[in-house]
């Protein structure tokens, strides 16, 4: 996916007002068969899976033994004993290893990433825009999916996304994905969008990104993603996470808003008003919705209180920022 | 990339329009395109002194923050107030409405360190190869 097509802000506006299409074919997809509790799948994911209705999606994580995040992922329950897992692109090779290591020998694991293209259509008009290409799309509820006939091909389309807007993700045969891309863009209401806009959109929603907020050394407790973790079930990394919860995590992820249009940037130090460094920015950008800089970062526990102002920046420039709440952008069409 | 014939240019992609003792300064079409949507401009203080090729402004886009260098030495006499609320003016009109600052030139000979429009275009061609 390129950084931009028309320009980051123009693509951002198109996504918030109409709709855009992102080529996310680089992401990883796995097919797994078998009962999730017998084949080891349930132990890999932080969320319970056996209560998932057919054709629903669930966001969760896979952890390492120390409770650090190996990846965040979405589980698709296709049918009894039929699953699709969608993982990040950069983490795909290690996740293939992780799944094959932890699934039992009875489970059938198939990495279909290289055969699977993926286009995300996101924005308030996305349902309308897809009506003819994906007949029946109207019936999909948030975080559900189904098989649809798209350009003569029976494929999975889910109502999921990463922008905070109503949106869909179409999984399509790799070699025919350019054809689908062109077909979607025949509609003048849909514009192509790139990584730059995607990053601004996800950050306005306060969504974490692997490699920024999430990594092997960060636990879901620190990343404040415990609502996607079921501590009652057995999963890899649970014991470490229990311990961390008892003793308290050393740091936590906080969202913040800059006082001006100036953006916090990744790796900038976060300091108390008396310039004592207490953390680091993991993501930062200008927010077109707020017309201010926004960001997220880790601070050591207890050094800054909620609602307190602090300073962000390098030697040269410091930005005054204050602790905010996620999402930064609250008017999205996500569940419309 | 657009250039203005009677302006002078730096290797860091600033332009300067000299009118007797006054130099109006901005960034070039090449710079604004490379930066992308400008979201913030930190303007210098009026009356402050700057040295030629010294950093005196910083411009932020969605993608990154960039330093802007003074094309000539002098005293800042005016900054473009419109950039505070509408920094994207730099994208829309980098050579005119999106000017950044005006300075009173302290040494006119410094213009010999700058490129003409023709030289700057050559310089840009060199960057592309």
- State the average pLDDT over residues B81-107: 97
Question: B58 falls in which pLDDT band (50, 70, 90)?
Answer: very high
Name the least confident of A36-40, A197-201, A313-317, B44-48. A313-317
Residue B128 lies in a domain: no
The answer to whether the Cβ–Cβ distance between B39 and A263 falls below 8 Å is yes
Mark yes or no for CB contact A8/B62 under 8 Å.
Answer: yes
Q: What's the CATH number where B22 sits? A: 2.40.50.100
**DSSP for A80-139?**
TTEEEEEE-STTHHHHHHHHHHHS-TTSEEEE-GGGEEEEEEESTTHHHHHTTTSTTGGG
Please check whether residue A332 lies inside any domain of the structure: no
Interface of A with B (CB under 8 A): 3-4, 7-10, 196, 200, 260-263, 265, 285-286, 293, 317
A209 belongs to a structural domain: no
Say how many domains are in chain B.
1
Which range of residues forms the domain containing residue A172? 8-204
Domain end position, chosen among A140, A170, A204: A204
Last residue of a domain, one of A179, A204, A229: A204
What pTM value is reported for the model?
0.93
Q: Is B52 a member of any domain?
A: yes
In a domain, A328, yes or no: no
- The answer to whether the CB atoms of A261 and B87 lie below 8 A apart is yes
Same domain, A285 and A183: no
CA A303 to chain centroid? 28
Count the domains in chain A: 2
Same structural domain, A29 and A153: yes
pLDDT computed for residue A155 by the predictor? 98
Cα distances from B75 to residues A150, B22, B44, in angstroms, run: 65, 10, 10
Residue B48 belongs to a domain: yes
Confidence of residue B129 (pLDDT cuts 50, 70, 90): low
* Contact between A308 and A323 (Cβ < 8 Å): yes
- Is ipTM over 0.90? no
B43 touches chain A (CB under 8 A): no
**Pair A155, A289 in one domain:** no
CB-defined contacts A:B, below 8 A:
39
Query: Among candidates A328, A335, A319, which has minimal Cα distance to A260?
Result: A319
Tell me if B121 is assigned to some domain: no
Residues pairing with A74 in the sheet: A59, A86
Question: Which residues numbered 95-114 in B keep a CB inside 8 Å of some CB on A?
Answer: none
Q: Is A222 among the domain residues?
A: no
Across the interface, whether the CB atoms of B36 and A317 are under 8 A apart is answered no
Residue A109 neighbours by CB under 8 Å, 6+ apart: A30, A31, A32, A99, A100, A103
User: What is the percent of chain B where pLDDT is above 70?
Assistant: 99
Cα–Cα nearest to A131, from A144, A140, A142, A118 = A140
Angle, CA B28 vertex, CA B25 and CA B29 arms, to 5°: 145
Residue A64 belongs to a domain: yes
- A270 found inside a domain: yes
Domain membership flag for residue A221: no
A91 and A187 co-located in one domain = yes
Chain A neighbors of B63, CB-CB under 8 A? 3, 8, 196
Domain hosting residue B60, numbered range: 8-106
Asked whether residue A180 is domain-assigned, the answer is yes
In a domain, B73, yes or no: yes
Answer yes or no: do A262 and B87 touch at CB < 8 A: no
Pairwise CB contact (< 8 Å): A286 & B62: yes
Which CATH number covers residue A131?
3.30.1360.120
CA atoms within 13 A on the CB side of A26: 10
Question: The domain that contains A305 carries what CATH number?
Answer: 2.40.30.110
Q: What backbone torsions phi and psi does residue B128 show, to the nearest 5 degrees?
A: -75, -25
Residue A314 or residue A327, greater confidence = A327
Q: Residue A196: list chain B partners with CB under 8 A.
A: 36, 62-63
For the beta carbon of residue A335, count every other beta carbon within 10 angstroms: 10
Residue B78 pLDDT class (50, 70, 90 cuts):
very high
């Amino acid at each position: 996916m390129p950084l931009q097509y028309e320009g980051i802000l123009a693509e951002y506006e198109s996504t918030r007002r109409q709709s855009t299409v992102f080529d996310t074919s680089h992401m990883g997809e796995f097919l797994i068969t078998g009962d999730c509790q017998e084949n080891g799948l349930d132990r890999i994911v932080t969320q319970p899976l056996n209560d998932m209705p057919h054709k629903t999606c669930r966001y969760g994580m896979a952890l390492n033994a120390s409770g650090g995040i190996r990846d965040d992922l979405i589980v698709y329950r296709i049918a009894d004993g039929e699953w699709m897992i969608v993982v990040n692109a950069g983490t795909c090779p290690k996740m293939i290893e992780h799944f094959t290591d932890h699934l039992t020998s009875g489970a059938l694991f198939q990495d279909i990433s290289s055969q699977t293209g993926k286009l995300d259509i996101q924005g308030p008009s996305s349902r309308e825009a897809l009506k003819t290409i994906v007949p029946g799309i109207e019936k999909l509820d948030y975080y559900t999916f189904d098989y649809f006939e798209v350009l003569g091909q029976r494929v999975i389309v889910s109502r999921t996304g990463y922008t905070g807007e109503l949106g869909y993700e179409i999984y399509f045969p790799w070699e025919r994905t350019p054809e689908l891309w062109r077909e979607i863009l025949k509609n003048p209401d849909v514009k192509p969008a790139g990584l730059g806009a995607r990053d601004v959109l996800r950050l306005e929603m306060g969504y974490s990104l692997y490699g920024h907020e999430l990594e092997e050394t960060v636990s879901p407790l620190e990343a404040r993603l415990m609502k996607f973790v079921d501590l009652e079930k057995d999963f890899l990394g649970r014991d470490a996470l229990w311990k961390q919860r008892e003793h308290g995590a050393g740091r936590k992820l906080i969202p913040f808003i800059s006082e001006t249009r100036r953006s916090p940037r990744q790796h900038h130090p976060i300091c108390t008003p008396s310039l004592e460094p207490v953390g680091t920015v993991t993501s930062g950008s200008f927010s077109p919705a707020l017309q201010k800089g926004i960001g997220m970062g880790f601070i050591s526990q207890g050094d800054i209180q909620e609602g307190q102002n602090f300073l962000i920046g390098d030697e040269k420039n410091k930005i005054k920022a204050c602790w905010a709440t996620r999402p930064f952008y609250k008017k999205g069409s996500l569940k419309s | 990339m657009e250039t203005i014939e009677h302006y002078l240019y730096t290797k860091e992609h600033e332009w300067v329009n000299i009118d007797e003792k006054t130099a109006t300064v901005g960034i070039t079409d090449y710079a604004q395109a490379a930066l992308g949507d400008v979201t913030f401009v930190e303007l210098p203080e009026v009356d402050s002194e700057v040295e030629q090729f010294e950093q005196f402004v910083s411009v932020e886009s969605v993608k990154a923050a960039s330093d802007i260098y003074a094309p000539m030495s002098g005293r800042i006499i005016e900054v473009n107030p419109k950039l505070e609320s509408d920094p994207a003016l730099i994208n829309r009109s980098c050579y005119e409405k999106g000017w950044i600052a005006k300075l009173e030139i302290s040494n006119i000979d410094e213009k010999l360190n700058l490129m003409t429009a023709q030289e700057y275009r050559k310089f840009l061609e060199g960057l592309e190869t």
